[in-house]
A and B are shown apart, each in its own frame.
Chain A
Amino acid sequence: MSVDFTLDLRGESCPYPVIYTLEALEGMTKGELLQVITDCPASFRNVPEEVLKHGYQFAKEPVKNGQEYLFYIVA
């Protein structure tokens, strides 16, 4: 599993993690892998929800890394 793009959202608060993630996925080619690093607690919940609702899949389970989460999403 190789990451094509990384979205580093550390320090960003709502609603920008969701907006940035969905926009990044829109701009990528289908099948590419996006890594999201986020530390906004609200985004631990609303990013995965929105990603799935907008029809994308997770490449693997989210990783909790201390006060951050890592998401791996297939565009």
Chain B
Amino acid sequence: MNAPDRYERFVVPEGTKKVSYERDTKIINAASFTIEREDHTIGNIVRMQLHRDGNVLFAGYKLPHPLQYKIIVRVHTSSQSSPMQAYNLAINDLDKELDHLKAAFEAEVARVSGEY
């Protein structure tokens, strides 16, 4: 009866930002990104990609509550980088990885369908 609407899970409400950024007030080069209407799919790949960056001292994400459709990604970097820089780099790298994967998969499909 009082269940939230199903679309609540993936439609960003009007007037809300998809990604908001908040610097840590006490630690330099630490920040949290709040990503609206995303879940483990994005959270985990971004976190793992951040771990590949040597300048990232800490990266983690959490889904605070199953009925709050947002994730919080926390990043802590060395002075060589900044959370924002590391976050952008991680997304760019993942994007390029998927470009490569797509091309590789298409080539495989062409190869396999050519065989028959």
A binds B: no
B residues sitting closer than 8 Å to A (CB atoms) are: none
A residues sitting closer than 8 Å to B (CB atoms) are: none
